[in-house]
Amino acid sequence: LKVGLAGLGTVGAAVARELSVKSELLAERSGRSIEVVAVSARDKNKDRGISLEGIEWFENAVALAESPDVDVVAELIGGSDGIAFDVVKTALERGRHVVTANKALVALHGVEIASIADEKGVALNYEAAVAGGIPVIKALREGLVVNRISRVFGILNGTCNYILTNMEATKRPFTDVLKEAQDLGYAEADPTFDVDGIDAAHKLSILAALAFGARVDFDGVYCEGIRRIAPVDFEYAAQFGYRIKLLAIAENSEDGVIQRVHPCIVPINTPIADVNGVSNAVIAEGDAVGQTVYEGPGAGDGPTASAVIADIVDIARGLIQPAFMRPASRLAPLQRGDLSQRVGAFYLRLGVLDRPGVIAKVTQVLAEQEISIGSFVQRGVTEDGAVNVVIMTHTTTEAAFGRALSAIESLSEVVEKPCKIRVEDF
């Protein structure tokens, strides 16, 4: 099986290395030899720690996708549009199998490219696009095929989990820990995709399409990132018995599927609270199987290459199946649920002026929305002279909490943008 690698960065170079070092093992396991015959990247002279001897170099990755000498194009460049999209579309139109690690591309153009793959009878495999080294696409597409999935959720961004874990453990600032995650090759080319929750939303929309048998609906994902989380939030959360995680959740509700990505506080004694560092976890709940849990490294060269190569080996073994479990033409639009009806508790940190009557005003607003307070802490003075007030509410609706938050934000004594975190008790 002749493979062309478009992109030789963190992931592409690791794929080239593993395919070369494990060539005999892979030939035994797939029944066919797998060989990299073509590569493309921007800089031909960059030292990538791999030998490119005897491999054709393409200045233009689209020309690689057009090459008749290539059976499988692995798109490992990134980005939802531009060159990555052109490479994938061209390869599929020419009847080449495609493997990609590009969640942005699959989230935004998944159905369009899956239609071309269906028409040409070739594979569009994207295991590495979701949860790095964890074979969760395979689990949903194959292992859980008989199940109606009611909920799929988890930790889908390794960079954010790395940042949150290390901010909590070492009390270092956000920017330092982000830099470390970038140096380790975890972050996207534009790390705002990681920290603003967009990368997790891309991945969630792909999982939801598979889980609920619908078109990918990235625009339907409610998305909040981790920028507003301050070191002090980890201390308060711990005091209440919680830990902070960025979770991605897609679940069936009465009126449709709610997809959301946002920071959550989860009880310290739950398994998801113990998923640390670059690890990801995915939990899928099916009617036949019950709850299944998958955990492992969610980013980085080796884990991602492991998933890309599994996709290539599927093709070598002749396992060609529709990208989203059924032909793209039979995927209906995802029916969206109404997030405002979600019921849950909230953590709310406010920076308020230390004046008589302020707490009374805040609690009055909550009472007007029939939101009951579970716990309350006032402690310390922030740098600008405000005091931190942290409230844990009892269960309420998103709509009621949203109204209360707007009213609280408009109080003149509230001098910082509040930090709200949803409580998830799985």
Reduced to 3 states, what is the DSSP secondary structure of residue 421? strand
Q: Where are the beta strands (DSSP E) in 166-276?
A: 221-223, 242-252, 257-267
Instruction: Look up residue 408 and give its two tokens.
Output: 């609280």
Span near ligand HSE by CB under 6 A; candidates 54-62, 80-88, 183-191, 385-393: 183-191
**Residue 392 interacts with, from ligand HSE, ligand NAP, none (CB under 5-8 Å by kind):** none
Residue 128 as a binder of ligand NAP (CB under 6 A): the answer is: yes
Residue 311 as a binder of ligand HSE (CB under 6 A): the answer is: no
Pick the closer one to ligand NAP by CB: 7 or 351: 7
CB 200 to ligand HSE: min, Å = 8
**Residue 30 interacts with, from ligand NAP, ligand HSE, none (CB under 5-8 Å by kind):** none
Supply the angle between the helices 358-368 and 398-409 in degrees, to the nearest 10: 150
Q: Which residues contact 265 (CB under 8 A, 6 or more apart)?
A: 237, 240, 242, 243, 244, 245, 347, 421, 422, 423, 424
Which residue pairs from 116-119 have beta carbons closer than 8 angstroms and sit at least 24 positions apart in sequence?
116/89, 116/92, 117/92, 117/322, 117/323, 117/328, 118/322, 118/323, 118/327, 118/328, 118/329
Catalytic residue among 89, 203, 245, 420: 203
296: left (phi over 0), alpha (psi -120 to 50) or beta: left
Q: Which residues contact 175 (CB under 8 A, 6 or more apart)?
A: none
Active site residue 138: no
**Residue 157 interacts with, from ligand NAP, ligand HSE, none (CB under 5-8 Å by kind):** ligand HSE
Span near ligand HSE by CB under 6 A; candidates 112-120, 144-152, 153-161, 327-335: 153-161
Pick the closer one to ligand NAP by CB: 103 or 422: 103
Residue 166 as a binder of ligand HSE (CB under 6 A): the answer is: no
CB 199 to ligand HSE: min, Å = 5
Pick the closer one to ligand NAP by CB: 131 or 423: 131
148: left (phi over 0), alpha (psi -120 to 50) or beta: beta
Span near ligand NAP by CB under 6 A; candidates 38-46, 206-214, 332-340, 371-379: 38-46
Interacting residue with ligand HSE among 157, 259, 292, 396 (CB under 6 A): 157
Rounded to an integer, what distance in angstroms lies between the CA atom of residue 52 and that of residue 40? 11
Reduced to 3 states, what is the DSSP secondary structure of residue 5? strand
Restricting to residues 192-211, name those near ligand HSE by CB under 6 A: 194, 199
**Residue 159 interacts with, from ligand NAP, ligand HSE, none (CB under 5-8 Å by kind):** ligand HSE
Applying CB under 6 A, the residues found at the interface with ligand HSE are 132, 157-159, 186-188, 194, 199, 298-299
Question: Which residues are known catalytic residues?
Answer: 203
